[in-house]
Amino acid sequence: MRVLVTGGGGFLGSRLAARLERDGHEVVVARRRDYDLTRMADTARLFADAGPELVYHLAAEVGGIGANRANPGRYWYANLMMGAHVLEQSRLAGTPKLVNFGTICEYPKYTPVPFSEDDLWNGYPEETNAPYGIAKKALLVGGQAYREQYGLNVVHLLPVNLYGPGDNFDEATAHVIPDLIRKMHDSPERIVLFGDGSPTREFLYVDDAVEGIVLAAERYDGAEPVNLGSGMEIAIRDLVDLVAELMGFEGEIAWDASMPNGQPRRRLDVSRAEALFGFRARTDFREGLERTIAWYREHAPAHAGA
């Protein structure tokens, strides 16, 4: 099959593209330097070049709490426009199937734990990432509308935070796990972290995410969104202690309580993914962290760290 992966040069997209190639597909990878998907003309050119039979829309502008607070307008606009353009071009091209990669940030701030897909509309998202989450949520509605009017088979996945080798460790946009690893590696004497460490988070290893996405494309054709996660939950303070242990970090850990915590708790009900397309995360969290840390130590700038 001829497959298009938007965001295919990124952390998740590159892993997905490699997996699809191993499975024998002809993969077209769309990178930002070649196609600006916030522009309809570029998106139309991409679809004309690719002629895809299946589209995985992974392209996004995203980051942690700090990046979301600094770029609320950009994150709303870019993610909404990219998704809308990919949806419309999929329709115009007669693409048989589109797999949209949403976000756990679509959920209301105070969603009962574990998050059930049925609770997605029962409140407003957490404020620091609401523009990003609402943009992605609009793509769920758009996909359902296109399915109803045009018969386009659009699948919408709701993943938790991903992590693993090759993650984004950029100081301005990294999520919590790569940010912790970079800080502990680069500043062995003292690090400062947002909030008070009380929120909980769920994490999914990148290769498990790839497996879930592929299974959804192969086995699921429904209109309802589906959670993609590991079903685990860990407090940020406990996560910090675990990363420190694995890295041998013995410096001071300071908490800046004047900065936001973000959503109080996050853990997904992952039963729908297992029931509908047989997905269950397999990677042990500690093992996944060890692999991620080892990758960063191998690829970190030589001048950084102790």
The residues that are catalytic are 132
Residue 244's nearest CA partner among 199, 304, 177, 291 is: 177
* Whether the Cβ atoms of residue 46 and residue 24 lie closer than 8 Å to each other: no
Q: Rounded to 5 degrees, what are φ and ψ at 59?
A: -60, 135
Give 3-state DSSP helix, strand, coil % of the chain, rounded to 5: 45, 15, 35
Q: In this structure, what is the dihedral angle of CA atoms 73, 74, 77, 83, given to the nearest 10 degrees?
A: -140
CB 96 within 8 A of CB 54: yes
Q: What size, in residues, is the chain?
A: 306
Identity of residue 210? V
Instruction: Evaluate whether 12 touches 210 at the Cβ level (below 8 Å).
Output: yes
Residue 121 contacts residue 190 (beta carbons within 8 Å) = no
Measured distance CA(223)–CA(195) in Å, rounded:
37
Token pair, residue 215, equals 């299974």
**Tokens matching residue 198:** 């009380």
Taking alpha carbons only, the member of 87, 202, 75 closest to residue 144 is 87
51: left (phi over 0), alpha (psi -120 to 50) or beta: left
Angstrom distance (rounded) from CA 258 to CA 287: 33
